[in-house]
């Protein structure tokens, strides 16, 4: 009788594994069907997948929209991992590139995380992206050290400024970083310094102003600001959201975030000498299957006049 | 108290700022290409007027003016970058050859309007009335396009405005050039500082646009009320709903079968094994979903031996749609399992034994006695598991990622839309989820009242 039970358990365990396997297979066919559905409703770039099965569907879609252009060249799809601050500007430039070359891009919000997070994701799976653009030289150094990107393709792409943002309807006046220690400001937010470059620049600024000590590996806030700082935002966009929703009085974001988010405005531009230069290095990932196309896209970003206009509109200065 | 202090501080600061600004402005000498001094405009920017602005912020028309502004764009930054190894200065893209150009600085605002355009429209650049109308329109459209950045309105409090048709202006160290073609068909406003390769501090930002006759200036204003609602729904991406329904739909079928099997199985094993199985089956309910996600990621990801084996078998599911389904199954399964097990345990064992003495097989007993008796609970468990799977966030995000249209379910969409500043879309999905939850609870209540009836009838 006991043996029977053991058999039962074993059979059940097998059934579980089989079910998982079934889901795996059934799932992939279902998702390719979803890709077809998307192309039929012409949801264009909205529908994109990293899966080969539906990438085919997506490519046929791209080919049909590009029907005018020559023979069906094997369509390339690029996955870009870019600093969170580029979330609105980059897709517009990608659309320009798609219109010009037919190369499509994976549309995924996980592709726009904090630079530190992107490098971690890429470390876990070096094939996850074709292009990496970070918001600090340090994050790119990490990626280079881990042989995640092709060093020869590394270039400085953009410059940005750090600002203190307040809600659009706020009357708060800020004339100096030291104002953060005054009673006029009850709370402020910044990115988590070790993963979010904007948070690290903010920390450097606070250190310059004498309101904090240490660096991103270990730091301590001055008593005058210690109980009003929220330094846990997972990306710079989160800081912008905190500010616009009124959860904090002000926050350290980039100038470009002012233009990409509604409901926040510049209160004070942090002098550039208070933190390291804010530069965005870009590089082609070492394991990219489409390294040539990826490199071409990077050079398109840097040299195309229309691409420059888009970046400039969002406050990114081409380096 | 704090408010008063803030105001006081603000006034003091503003006072100081304006003082310095006007001191600079007094000593401002602006000269054009032919060396003539350009005098500051006497037109006031604060002139009131009813300016209609398009919803995209690119077209503006002042009520009563004979001209309007079209194709307006702000370039919040320029670039010092060389073009084909030639340095042209800090350059801002403009909208075209015949566009007007505006350069905004904290102590002056320069407005360049091509003479050809003025001639065509029959306008006089030095006419104060024209300048006034142009400025009022410009200030309004600039503010609409600023999105929280600097504005001419704020700069003009301390800055003077200069109008010109000359293609270049010199102010102090800086030379501003307008209507410059750099590369094929790309027109720029440039800032140069002799001896420097970085003239970016010569301007806060620049903008450009086209002066168009009133009749050609078509302003599509932001729609309101029902029209705005219709537009919202037209622009809305319904993908999260379909992804949610698809993911949860597949997951619930698997959960239903596995849940029933697991519940049935635990009834039939010895108490020791039962305790172990019960723990294993229930633990996803107790664990934080992120832990489940983490474990799944490790189990299926390329960093572990099991993951490597799965991938070598062609099952690379991390960050794909099947991953979302598995995440839903793992977190939804315990709901189904526990509810069904409870129902099975409540079935009178004598009934089952009676069936056995009548020679029924276990399968028949399961299908003909246990299932019908436990049906209300099974249905409730299914609905609960469905709701739990539909609401799954942490595990899905960890294991399946957030790819729009593939793994972005409603809960993920809510979080990322809110984070991305699309509050209205986030609110819409919140309402959808509340509606779905309402239906789920209603369904359970109706079902349980049925059970009550059945119990009552039994009691009679």
What pLDDT, in 10s, does the model give residues A44-79?
333 333 334 444 444 444 444 444 444 345 678 999
Query: Is the domain of B364 the same as that of B432?
Result: yes
Please say whether the beta carbons of B23 and B158 come within 8 A: no
Q: Do B322 and B198 belong to one domain?
A: no
Residues of chain B numbered 385-404 and touching chain A (CB < 8 Å)? 401-404
Domain count of the fold of chain B: 2
CA-based nearest residue to B321, from B253, B247, B387, B404:
B247
**B262 and B210 together in one domain:** no
Q: Which CATH number is A162-274's, of 3.40.50.1820, 3.40.190.10, 3.40.630.10, 2.60.15.10?
A: 3.40.190.10
Nearest-CA neighbor of A23 among B242, B287, B252?
Answer: B252
Provide the domain limits for residue B358.
231-459
Q: What is the pLDDT of residues A81-130, one digit of tens each?
A: 999 889 889 999 999 999 999 899 987 766 888 898 899 888 888 888 99
- What torsion, rounded to 10 degrees, do the Cα atoms A314, A132, A238, A174 define? -50
Which residues from A are below 8 Å from B408, CB to CB? 109
Across the interface, do A184 and B5 touch by the CB < 8 Å criterion?
yes
> Residue A236: pLDDT above 60?
yes
| B 185-204 near A (Cβ less than 8 A) | 185-186, 200
Min Cα–Cα distance to chain B from A42, Å? 12
> Which distant-in-sequence residues (6+ apart) come within 8 Å of B338 by Cβ?
B281, B282, B285, B381
- Point out the residue among A12, A23, A318 whose CB comes nearest to the CB of B254: A23
From chain A, the residues in CB contact with B405 under 8 A are 34, 38, 43, 46-49, 107
* B347 and B255 housed in the same domain: yes
Q: What is the pLDDT of residues A181-211, one digit of tens each?
A: 999 999 999 999 998 999 999 999 999 999 9
Chain B contact set for A124 (CB, 8 A): 301-303
Rounded to the nearest angstrom, the gap between the alpha carbon of residue B39 and the centroid of all alpha carbons in its chain is 46
Low-confidence ranges of chain B (pLDDT < 50): 1, 3, 5, 7-25, 460
Report the gap between the CA of A73 and the closest CA in chain B (Å).
25
B427 with B288, same domain: the answer is yes
Q: Is the pLDDT of residue A22 over 80?
A: no
Q: Look at residues B197, B222, B247 and tell me which one is the last residue of a structural domain.
A: B222
Give the CA diameter of chain B: 115
CATH (residue range A76-159+278-319): 3.40.190.10
Among A156, A138, A245, CA closest to A198: A138
Q: Which residue of B has its CA nearest to A310?
A: B75
Asked whether the predicted pLDDT for residue A32 surpasses 70, the reply is: no
Q: Enumerate residues 6+ apart whose C-beta is below 8 A from B242.
A: none
In the block, tokens 């034994």 appear at: B353
A310 vs A17 pLDDT, higher one: A310
Per the CB < 8 A criterion, the answer to whether B98 and B209 are in contact is: no
pLDDT of A39 over the 60 cut = no
Measured between CB atoms, which of A9, A183, A186 is closest to B269?
A: A9
- Residue B209's pLDDT is what? 93
The rounded distance, in Å, linking the Cα atoms of B158 and B20 is 8
Q: Residue B34 is encoded by which pair of tokens?
A: 């032919």
Q: Domain boundary residue among B203, B222, B241?
A: B222
Q: List the single residue in A26, A109, A261 with the smallest CB-CB distance to B421.
A: A261
User: With bands split at pLDDT 50, 70 and 90, how would you rate the model's confidence at A26?
Assistant: very low
Q: Is the dihedral of CA B91, B95, B100, B102 positive or negative?
A: negative
**One domain, residues B209 and B278:** no
Summarize pLDDT for B285-297 with one digit per residue, the tens.
Answer: 889 999 999 999 8
Q: Is residue B20 part of a domain?
A: no
Min Cα distance B165 → chain A (Å) is 24
Residue B7 lies in a domain: no
- What pLDDT, on a 0 to 100 scale, did the predictor assign at position B262? 92
Which of B204, B222, B240 is where one domain is finished? B222
**Residue A12 predicted with pLDDT over 50:** no
For the entire predicted model, the pTM comes to: 0.72
What the block records as the tokens of B408 is: 């972005």
Q: Which of residues 118-137 of B touch A (CB under 8 A)?
A: none
Q: If you ran DSSP here, which 8-state letter would residue B201 be given?
A: G
CA contacts within 13 A on the Cβ side of A57: 26
Q: Which chain A residues are closer than 8 Å to B319 by Cβ? A: 50, 110, 128
Subunit contact B420:A87, Cβ cutoff 8 A: yes
- Return phi, psi of residue A285, to 5°: -70, 145
Q: Which residues contact B368 (CB under 8 A, 6 or more apart)?
A: B355, B360
- Test A23 with B325 for CB contact under 8 angstroms: yes
Query: Tell me, what CATH number does B375's domain have?
Result: 1.10.3720.10
Q: B154 with B238, same domain?
A: no
Same domain, B393 and B318: yes
Residue B382 lies in a domain: yes
Nearest CA in chain A to B185: A305
Kindly state the helix (H) or strand (E) to which residue B143 belongs, with its residue range: helix B128-146
pLDDT value at residue A187 = 93
Please say whether the beta carbons of B380 and B430 come within 8 A.
Answer: no
B151 occurs within a structural domain: yes
B-chain residue closest to A23, CA distance: B322
Residue A263: closest CA among A283, A281, A247: A247
**Spatial distance between the Cα atoms of B50 and A220, rounded to a whole number of angstroms:** 53
In chain A, CATH 3.40.190.10 covers: 76-159+278-319, 162-274
Considering only CB atoms, A109 lies closest to which of B239, B322, B402, namely B402
| Nearest-CB residue to B148 (from A172, A175, A264) | A264
Q: Is residue B12 part of a domain?
A: no
What's the confidence (pLDDT) of residue B20? 42
Co-location of B252 and B213 in the same domain: no
């Amino acid at each position: 009788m006991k043996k029977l039970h053991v058999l039962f358990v074993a059979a059940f365990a097998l059934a579980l594994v089989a079910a998982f396997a079934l889901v795996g297979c059934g799932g992939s066919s279902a998702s390719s069907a979803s890709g077809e559905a998307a192309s039929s409703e012409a949801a264009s770039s909205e529908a994109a997948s990293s899966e080969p099965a539906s990438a085919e569907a997506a490519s046929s879609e791209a080919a049909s929209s590009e029907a005018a252009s020559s023979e069906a060249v094997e369509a390339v799809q690029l996955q870009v991992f870019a600093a969170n601050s580029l979330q609105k500007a980059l897709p517009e430039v990608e659309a320009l590139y798609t219109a010009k070359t037919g190369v499509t891009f994976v549309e995924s919000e996980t592709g726009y995380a904090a630079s530190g997070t992107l490098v971690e994701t890429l470390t876990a799976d070096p094939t996850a992206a074709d292009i990496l653009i970070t918001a600090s030289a340090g994050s790119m150094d990490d990626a280079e050290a881990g042989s995640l990107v092709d060093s020869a393709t590394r270039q400085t792409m953009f410059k940005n400024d750090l600002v203190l943002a307040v809600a659009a309807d706020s009357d708060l006046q800020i004339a100096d970083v030291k104002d953060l220690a005054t009673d006029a400001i009850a709370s402020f937010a910044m990115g988590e310094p070790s993963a979010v470059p904007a948070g690290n620049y903010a920390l450097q600024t606070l250190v310059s102003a004498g309101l904090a000590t240490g660096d991103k590996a270990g730091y301590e806030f001055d008593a005058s600001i210690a109980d009003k700082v929220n330094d846990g935002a997972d990306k710079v966009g989160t800081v912008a959201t905190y500010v616009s929703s009124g959860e904090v009085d002000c926050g350290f974001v980039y100038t470009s975030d002012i233009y990409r988010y509604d409901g926040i405005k510049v209160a004070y531009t942090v002098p550039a000498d208070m933190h390291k230069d804010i530069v965005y290095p870009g590089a082609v990932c070492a394991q990219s299957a489409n390294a040539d196309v990826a490199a071409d896209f990077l050079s398109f970003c840097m040299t195309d006049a229309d691409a420059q206009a888009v970046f400039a509109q969002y406050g990114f200065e081409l380096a | 108290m704090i408010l008063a202090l803030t105001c006081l501080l603000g006034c003091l600061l503003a006072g100081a700022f304006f003082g310095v600004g006007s001191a600079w402005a007094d000593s401002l000498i602006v000269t054009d290409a032919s060396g003539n001094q350009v005098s500051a405009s006497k037109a006031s920017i604060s002139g009131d007027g009813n300016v209609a602005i398009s919803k995209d912020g690119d077209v503006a028309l002042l009520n009563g003016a004979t001209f309007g502004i079209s194709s307006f764009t702000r370039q919040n930054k320029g670039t010092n970058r060389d073009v084909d190894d030639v340095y042209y200065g800090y350059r801002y893209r403009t909208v075209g050859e015949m566009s007007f150009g505006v350069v905004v600085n904290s102590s002056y605002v320069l407005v360049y309007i091509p003479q050809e355009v003025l001639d065509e429209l029959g306008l006089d650049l030095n006419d104060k009335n024209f300048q006034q109308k142009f400025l009022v329109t410009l200030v309004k459209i600039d503010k609409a396009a600023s999105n929280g950045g600097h504005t001419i309105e704020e700069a003009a409090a301390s800055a003077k405005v200069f109008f010109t048709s000359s293609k270049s202006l010199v102010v102090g160290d800086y030379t501003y050039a307008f209507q410059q073609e750099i590369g094929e068909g790309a027109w720029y406003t440039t800032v140069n500082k002799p001896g420097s390769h970085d003239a970016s501090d010569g301007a806060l930002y620049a903008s450009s646009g086209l002066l168009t006759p009133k009749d050609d200036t078509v302003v599509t204003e932001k729609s309101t009320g029902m029209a705005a609602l219709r537009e919202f729904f037209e622009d809305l991406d319904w993908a999260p709903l379909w992804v949610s329904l698809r993911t949860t739909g597949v997951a619930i079928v698997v959960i239903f079968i596995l849940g029933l099997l697991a519940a049935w199985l635990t009834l039939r094993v010895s108490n020791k094994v039962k305790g172990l199985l019960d723990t294993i089956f229930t633990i996803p309910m107790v664990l934080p979903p992120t832990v489940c996600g983490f474990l799944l990621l490790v189990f299926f990801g390329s960093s572990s031996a099991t993951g490597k084996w799965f991938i070598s078998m062609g099952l690379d599911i991390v960050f794909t749609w099947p991953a979302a389904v598995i995440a839903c199954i793992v977190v939804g399964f315990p709901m189904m399992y526990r509810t069904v097990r409870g129902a099975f345990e409540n079935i009178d064992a004598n009934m089952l034994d009676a069936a056995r003495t009548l020679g029924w097989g276990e399968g028949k007993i399961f299908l003909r006695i246990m299932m019908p008796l436990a049906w209300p609970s099974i249905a409730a468990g299914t609905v609960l598991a469905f709701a739990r799977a539909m609401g799954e966030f942490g595990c899905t995000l960890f294991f399946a990622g957030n790819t729009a249209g593939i793994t972005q379910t409603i809960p993920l969409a809510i979080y990322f839309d809110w984070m991305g500043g699309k509050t209205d879309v986030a609110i819409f999905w919140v309402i959808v989820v509340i509606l779905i939850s309402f239906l789920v609870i209603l369904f359970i209540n109706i079902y349980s009242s049925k059970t009550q009836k059945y119990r009552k009838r039994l009691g009679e």
